Amino acid sequence: MASSESSSSSAQSLTFYGFLDKMRNPASVDLVRSIKSFIVSFSFYSPYPENDGKRVQEFFSIFEVAIMDHQLWENSSMEEIDCSMEGLEKYVMTKLFSRTFASSPEDVKIDQEISEKIHLLQTFLRPDHLDIRPFLRNESSWLLAEKELQKINSFKAPREKLLCIMSCCKVINNLLLNASISEDHALGGADDFLPVLIYITIKANPPHLHSNLRYIQLYRRQSKLMSEAAYYFTNLVSAKSFIVDLTAESLSIDASEFEENMQAASLTNKGATVEPSLVLNPTLEEQKDVGPATALDEAEDGFGTSYPYMDAEPGELTVADVERLLSLYKDVVTKYTNLRRAP
C-alpha cells in the first residue's frame, strides 16, 4: 500500500464505506440514479457476456469522468478517485453477479468439464510429471497457494477475485525466491513458475475456473488489468488452457500409463458424482443476492462477501453449507496461523 497518502481525513474515502458514504450524500443523487438505472437496465436483456462486459466498462469510464468534475470529489487525489472507482466496481458487480457470472450455458459446461478433468488428474498426477524441480516441492507453500486460489469463489467483486489469483502467485513467487536463495539454485523464472502454478491449479481445482477468469477479464476495470496483475492473470489463463488441452504428450508420463490412470479414475468417480462446484455457488448466491431495488444506502458490511455466514442463525443452515463453512473455517485458521507466525 502506498504510504504517501496517509492523512487520516482521507482514510475513510479509501474504503468501500467511503464510497457508500459519498453515495449517501444528497449531492450525489444523480450518480446514484445513474447507477441504479444502469443496474436495472440489465434485467431488460438476456445475458450476452461480450456485450455485457463492454457495457459495464463503458459505464465505469463514464462514471469516472463524471466524478472527476463532481463537487464531492473536488480536490480529491487520483488515489481517492481510484478508490471510489473500486467501490463502484464492487457495488455494481455485486448487484449484477448472478446475472453476469457463469451466465451462459456454454460457460457452465466448460467449467464442469474442466473440473471433471482435473478431478481425474488429481488421482495420479505427481510433480515429476511436470518436471518440477525437487527443491521447489514444498507442501506447506503449495497448500497455502491452493487455499488462496480456492478463495476465488468467496468473492463477487472482480478486484477481489483477481486478488486471490495474485495472492496465490505471490506465494509461489516467494517459494521460488526463497528456494533459489537457500538452495543456491539459479532463479528459474517462468520455467519454474508456470509448472508449479499448473500443479497447484490441479490440486486446488477451484470451482468455476473458466467462468472466474472470463468474469475478471470482462468486468475488472480495464485500467487495472494491466502490468503485473495482467501477467499473473495470464498465467492462470494459460494454466487453464494447458489443462484443457492436456494429453499424455503434455506430461512426462508414458502414454499407456496416462490412459490407464485416466480410465481408472473415471471408473472410481462414477459412483460418487457429487460435484461440489455445483453446490457451492448457488449457496453463495442465495446468501447474498441483493436485488437491484435495494438502496445504495444498505451498506454491505465488511465481511459480507468474504464471510457470508457472519449473520447466519443455526436454523438457516443446510447440509449444503457444510462444505463451504468448513473451507471458510480452514481459511480463517490458515490466516490466523500465518499472522501469528509473522515477526
* CB of 166 or CB of 216, closer to another protein: 166
Give the whole-angstrom CA distance, residue 168 versus residue 331.
Answer: 13
CB 247 → another protein: shortest distance, Å? 10
Of 254 and 311, the one with the shorter C-beta distance to another protein is 254
Q: Is 65 in the site for another protein (CB under 8 A)?
A: no
Non-local CB neighbours of 308 within 8 Å, separated by 6+ positions? 284, 287, 288
Q: How far is the CB of 129 from another protein (least distance, A)?
A: 11
Q: How far is the CB of 193 from another protein (least distance, A)?
A: 4
Q: Which of 60, 91, 199, 232 binds another protein (CB under 8 A)?
A: 232
Q: Which residue, 108 or 194, is less far from another protein as judged by CB?
A: 194
Examine residue 157 and tell whether it contacts another protein (CB under 8 A): no
Binding flag, residue 170, another protein (CB under 8 A): yes
Cα distances (angstroms) measured from residue 288 to each of 12, 96, 269, 308: 25, 11, 32, 7
Find, among 57, 16, 39, 97, the residue nearest to 225 by Cα: 57
Classify residue 134 as exposed, middle or buried by CB count within 10 Å of its CB (0-12, 13-18, 19+). exposed
Contacts to another protein from residues 184-203, by CB under 8 A = 184-195
Q: Report how far apart the first and last C-alpha atoms of the chain are (Å, whole number).
A: 19
Residue 23 or 168: which CB sits closer to another protein?
A: 168
Rg (CA), the chain: 22
Q: Which stretch binds another protein (CB under 8 A): 54-62, 224-232, 262-270, 297-305?
A: 224-232
Helices (H), strands (E): how many in the chain? 14, 0
- The reply on whether position 342 binds another protein by CB under 8 A is no
Cβ neighbours for 67, distance < 8 A, ≥ 6 positions apart: 31, 73, 81, 84, 85
Binder of another protein out of 228, 267, 274, 314 (CB under 8 A): 228
Decide if 317 contacts 287 (C-beta within 8 A): no
- Whose Cβ is closer to another protein: residue 124's or residue 309's? 124
Q: Which of 30, 106, 128, 131 binds another protein (CB under 8 A)?
A: 131
* Residue whose CB is less far from another protein, 4 or 318: 4
H or E, element range at 155: none
Q: Residue 108: CB partners within 8 Å, gap ≥ 6?
A: 102, 211
**Interface with another protein (CB under 8 A):** 1-2, 78-79, 131, 166-167, 169-170, 172-174, 176-178, 180-181, 184-195, 223-224, 226-229, 231-232, 234-235, 237-238, 241-242, 245, 249-251
